[in-house]
Amino acid sequence: MSNKAIYLGVIGVGGVGGHFLSQLSKLPNAPSLVLLARSSQTLTSPAPSYPAIPPADWQSAFSSSTGPFTKSEAWSPEKIASYLSQVPGRAILVDNTSDPTIANAYPLFTSKGISIVTPNKKAFSSSLKLWKDIFSTAASSNALVYHESTVGAGLPVLSTLRDLVNTGDKVTRIEGVFSGTLSFLFNQFAPPSPPASGEKKQWSEVVAQAKELGYTEPDPRDDLNGMDVARKLTILARIAGLEVESPDTLPIESLIPEELSNLEAGSKGAEEFMRRLPEFDGKMEELKKAAEAEGKVVRYVGSIDAPGKSVKVGLQKFDKDSAIAGLKGSDNIISFYTERYGDLPLTVQGGGAGGPVTAMGVMADLIKVLERLS
């Protein structure tokens, strides 16, 4: 058991990061927050005393012209790693961003004995080499890596799968709805029973509604291209023992019409996409009616066939009384079929998106790391 103090660096103070800092301020015996980084600035606590940055009042610490903390321009991952490696105790980095540059630097942090807690999918769903480098350097440096919130926000998806694998169960299939955005879209567009109002919504109307409610990314194409789901499936497949090279190698069914696939990136392209999307409502209506003719509904799912070593992302039809068809709102559902659980899978279901629940998943991981380091 170590009696050394534990020091915390946090990158990202946006949606998830802001909720995380609020939750950290209420954590009993929280570790000392000594580094706080946002896109344009880095706030650090000076050696040798390392006074703690107050997580409940971090905005004031950033804006104050006096006080014990040092304000700098944004630091590189190398500089952050150097700073955290010099604290007089164990260091943990909480990365609340989706920044690939920081994700690519994870092996640098872990090689210096800095543990990592993060919802950043980029590190664990990019190249297989990066995945292996992160965990091999962590093992050789006694660093810990927790990333529960990379799949399913605060839902216990990865921990459940790791428990199954680590206890010797054999995973045969994983299937589910992994995107809160796409869950909402299809639950609205193709509900199992007609809405009480009798009003049927066109696909483009549902996408516009989801965008207005903040369920989609600012550019809905980032949800509709299926890559977010593919990244989550890549992470699960790797934990289950499949060596997926990268999400780009998977068969992904995009919901972006081929005629709109070459629009420019950025806000102008997104505006044109939304303006032209109604032109393709007929195609989505056909898919919905084809499923209804079979007594089914269409849903956007990801699936892993472990024995067959295959991963798929796209549209599938489901019976109207199935658990996937019965999802509400933006809920996720992930089912694990294993030798022990047989034909009745172990299922995890609930809210799989949003700042508060994602931050809760990050905080739960932080608590686990603190328990293991203490």
As a whole number of angstroms, the distance between CA 125 and CA 128 comes to: 8
Residues forming beta bridges with residue 71, ordered by sequence position: 43
Q: Specify whether the CB–CB gap between 110 and 118 falls below 8 A.
A: no
As given in the structure block, the two tokens for residue 154 are 């605060």
3-state secondary structure of 93: strand
Omega of the bond prior to 48 within 30 degrees of 0, cis? yes
Element (H, E) at 160: helix 157-166
Q: Specify whether the CB–CB gap between 150 and 332 falls below 8 A.
A: no
As given in the structure block, the two tokens for residue 201 are 């919504």
Q: Is 283 one of the catalytic residues?
A: no
As a whole number of angstroms, the distance between CA 261 and CA 52 comes to: 49
Q: Specify whether the CB–CB gap between 153 and 358 falls below 8 A.
A: yes
- The b/e string for 158-179 (b: 16+ C-beta within 10 A; e otherwise) is bbbbeebeeeebebbbbbbbbb
Q: Which of 121, 232, 296, 309 is catalytic?
A: 232
> Helices (DSSP H) in 25-156: which residue ranges?
58-63, 77-84, 100-104, 106-111, 122-125, 128-141
As a whole number of angstroms, the distance between CA 132 and CA 365 comes to: 20
Q: Using the Cα atoms of residue 217, residue 222, residue 225 and residue 231 in order, give the sign of their dihedral.
A: negative
As a whole number of angstroms, the distance between CA 65 and CA 96 comes to: 26
As a whole number of angstroms, the distance between CA 134 and CA 181 comes to: 29
Distance, CA of 205 to chain centre? 26
Active site residues: 232
